[in-house]
Amino acid sequence: MRFSCSLPIDESQAEEFQSIEAIGEMARAVDTAGLDAIFVTDHPAPSARWLGGGGHETYDPFIALTVAACASPRILLHTHILVLAYRNPFDVAKAAATLDALSGGRLVMGIGTGYSKPEYAALGVNFDDRGAITDESIKLMREAWTGEPVHYEGPRFFARDTVIRPRPPQPHGVTVWAGGNAKVAIRRAVESCEGWCPFPAQGIVTRTARTEELSTMAQLKEKLSYARDHGEKVGRTAPLDICMGRLDSMAAGSQDSGGAAEAVDAYCGLAEAGVTWATMSVPSPSRAAFAENLQWFGEEVAAKVRAETGS
């Protein structure tokens, strides 16, 4: 199992996290701890009501990850998630290809359809059309990443002799993981992407995030079975990465043997079910605490999970 760590750069955190120096220092801490990627979220135009109700501000994901890429030559750069329908697919294709090429193929673009009607309205995009926009955008980006002229006329986008370069280093273009718990999201991942990102959700979260419940291992296994079955149905032969956080909590526990053992058990259970990547975070009241807690997680959790799972 591989681990992607959240960067604590939202507006609710202390100012010491909000600088180029801070992002670079935290990226190096993730690298030093032996983890595999860092991730940032995406809310370009959130509503004040959402922010006041527990939402969080974000940096532009491509800019934040570019800063992180400069600080570490190894770790992967992960959007978790980018709301693809918020933007024109050619804009996204250009930004993603540029970061992927400059970083040596290290971008993992987790994408999703989002759930915020006010944010969609502010960005001038039809909320009810978000799924179809997402599917069309993935198709267009795949064509754009070949580096060859794109000729396309669809229900939402048009291109005539359009070229997007640089080309991403990998033959398939930028790595894309599709997020969401519904069957339509699973089918999108299986048919068009390199990975699928379900996320734990129950109770009010299922309503606010407009998603299906995922709170038990039985539910996860059922969805993974659906993904495998659909892959066989459509003739998918490439492996599908599965990325999600702990079913009980995304944040690591306290630095004690009990917290470590609980985390190891949780991640080993996910790995046994078929999860290949885990998103996680650590308590970060300060940059120093972030680095210290990351080192603890790397030694007491991640290393032990890998030893037990042979990954």
The reported pTM is 0.95
Q: How confident is the model at residue 195 (pLDDT cuts 50, 70, 90)?
A: very high
92 is a domain residue: yes
- Residue 174 is part of a domain; what is its CATH number? 3.20.20.30
127 is a domain residue: yes
- The domain tally of the chain equals 1
What are the structure tokens assigned to 238, written together?
């490439």
* DSSP SS3 for 91: helix
Q: Which is more confidently placed, 249 or 222? A: 222
Cα angle 250, 208, 228 (rounded to 5 degrees) comes to: 60
Strands 175-179 and 107-112: parallel
259 is a domain residue: no
76 is a domain residue: yes
Give kind and range of the element (H or E) at residue 278: strand 277-280
Q: How confident is the model at residue 204 (pLDDT cuts 50, 70, 90)?
A: low
**What is the Cα–Cα distance from 246 to 263, expressed in whole angstroms?**
8
Domain containing 45 equals: 2-239
**What is the Cα–Cα distance from 162 to 141, expressed in whole angstroms?**
11
Q: How confident is the model at residue 208 (pLDDT cuts 50, 70, 90)?
A: low
229 is a domain residue: yes
Helices (H), the chain: 20-32, 48-52, 61-71, 89-102, 117-122, 130-144, 183-192, 204-208, 217-234, 257-273, 287-297, 303-309
What are the structure tokens assigned to 32, written together?
């030093």
The per-residue pLDDT for range 85-105, each reduced to its tens digit, is 999 999 999 999 999 999 999
297 is a domain residue: no
270 is a domain residue: no
* Region 7-23 average pLDDT: 84
306 is a domain residue: no
